[in-house]
Chain A
Amino acid sequence: MDFGQFISYIASGTVYTVGVTLIALPSGLLIGTILALLYVYGGKAAARVMNLYSTVFRGIPPLVLLFILFFAVTRGINLSAFWAGSLSLGIVSSAYQMEIVRGALLSVSGDQLMAARAIGMSRLQSIRYVVLPQAVRLAIPPWSNEAAIVIKDSSLVYALGVPEILRRAQLIGASSQRYLLAYLSAAVIYFLLVFGTTRLLAVLEKKLTIPSNP
């Protein structure tokens, strides 16, 4: 096997890595945002429930949750390793993303909401058109960090046998006995994925910056 084949075998796992990330990150964002809105605007009872959710899922290692979902919960349901892995990572990430969005919502001054109400907008409209657009901008830097974490954590699904980058590196390393090269290749691919994503988000952040005089 030549070097090109060696690398492309590992690199073809990128499809799974990206796939897991593209399921885990957006589902975490969707759930996290909804829960954050409930946390901040849903009253005391909702806040307590959300706090519990956040505490529990941030307190369990993603790998453990992954095994629970795959081996225990999916006994009755036919859930593939790929989906079980993606969804568990999404759930863990939703807890972190909830905290990110919550922090951003709280950073937008309550006066903004009051000013929106004062022109006759409902509470829901005020949140949607005044608070959320400002919160999104505040959330991008910490969210970029979370995106990097999810990309890297996607490697955990290797434990369920999903043929993503790390799994492939492990397999080809074993068969060729060139472990160092295999894992170094995996490291480079992960790094490029994380680097590209964070750069992209940095561009987005800059693009969304509200103009102001120095």
Chain B
Amino acid sequence: MPEPILTIKNLTKKYGENVIFQHLDLTVNEGDTIVIIGPSGTGKSTLLRCINLLTRPDEGQIWLDDMEITAKDCDEDQVRQHIGMVFQNFLLFNHLTALGNVKLGLSKVKKMSDEAATEKAMHELARVGLADRADHYPGQLSGGQQQRVGIARALAMDPRIMLFDEPTSALDPELIGEVLEVMRQLALDGMTMLVVTHEMGFAREVADRIVFMEKGYIVEEGSPDEMFNHPKFPRTREFLWKITELYGKKETDTN
């Protein structure tokens, strides 16, 4: 029986009168790759930010393993160590090299010695294929390389789960493949991942489950086969068709 790593119950987020999503339930099991799709403005990114507490939900609970992280007495800094986050626009620390970016959390949060932190950081950089770029600054790296450093930075903390917020949306088409390849490898290694993306090729191939969100609700979720071939709702079919048509050309480039 797979163990749930992340359990979301009845989650609601509003900005004033504006409801971003409400009464959302989602469970992510250990080793799963869940892809969330949906039109923009349906609260996918906000959902990810709620999960690592960068934004506070208004109602509902989130559990990471057995710990309720939405509890009042929960130490957010502690929680975030266990949840890796990869951002759409990379958000590398501009004043640090690739190695420095990956090392910072190890040195300052995990309080590792400089030597141990360097070793661990180099291991993570090698994992994303960038060991030879360790001494490069973000401004000296391509977008795809920057995003891979971003992934290495999150991985270095040994998170229980990785959140990806449209990790390839800000990339030139020819750079998307290298990032997706790293993510594909991560999924194969058994990392638990929650990915917001429009890359249907990735979703179809790698996802254990696809979640279709629209207007703050989960319309439907299921295996890639169910979602692509036998969706329950016409709206799901319509959206998947549209997206595949839009992004389909890239698939052939990246695969």
Task: Confirm or deny: B85 has a beta carbon within 8 angstroms of a beta carbon on chain A.
Answer: yes
Residue contact A121 to B95, C-beta cutoff 8 Å = no
Digitize B132-156: 1 where CB-to-A-CB distance is under 8 Å, 0 elsewhere. Answer: 0000011110000000000001100
| Interface bin, chain B | 20 to 34
Given A114-B54, A129-B108, A212-B137, A119–B89 Cβ distance below 8 Å? no
Residue contact B87 to A119, C-beta cutoff 8 Å = no
Residue contact A120 to B95, C-beta cutoff 8 Å = no
Chain B residue with the shortest CB-CB distance to A137: B95
Given A112-B91, A122-B77, A117–B139 Cβ distance below 8 Å? no
Residue contact A120 to B157, C-beta cutoff 8 Å = yes
B105 neighbours in A (Cβ, 8 Å): 119-121
Chain B residue with the shortest CB-CB distance to A130: B93
A145 neighbours in B (Cβ, 8 Å): none
Residue contact B108 to A111, C-beta cutoff 8 Å = no
Task: Confirm or deny: B184 has a beta carbon within 8 angstroms of a beta carbon on chain A.
Answer: no
| Interface bin, chain A | 20 to 34
Residue in B77, B138, B139, B140 whose beta carbon sits within 8 Å of that of A120 in the complex = B77
A177 neighbours in B (Cβ, 8 Å): none
A121 to B154, CA, bound (A): 12
Given A114-B54, A137-B95, A119–B109 Cβ distance below 8 Å? yes
Given A115-B93, A117-B80, A210-B137, A129–B104 Cβ distance below 8 Å? yes
Task: Confirm or deny: B52 has a beta carbon within 8 angstroms of a beta carbon on chain A.
Answer: yes
A137 to B93, CA, bound (A): 14
Chain B residues packing against A (C-beta within 8 Å): 52, 54, 77-78, 80-81, 85, 87, 89, 91-95, 104-105, 108-109, 137-140, 153-154, 157
Chain A residues packing against B (C-beta within 8 Å): 111-112, 114-122, 125, 129-130, 133-134, 137, 210-213
Given A122-B77, A134-B95; 12 other pairs, CB 8 A cutoff: A112-B91, A115-B85, A115-B93, A120-B80, A121-B108, A134-B94, A137-B95, A210-B94, A210-B95, A211-B140, A212-B139, A213-B140
> 8 shortest A-B CB distances, which residue pairs?
A212-B139, A120-B81, A115-B91, A119-B105, A118-B85, A120-B80, A120-B109, A133-B95
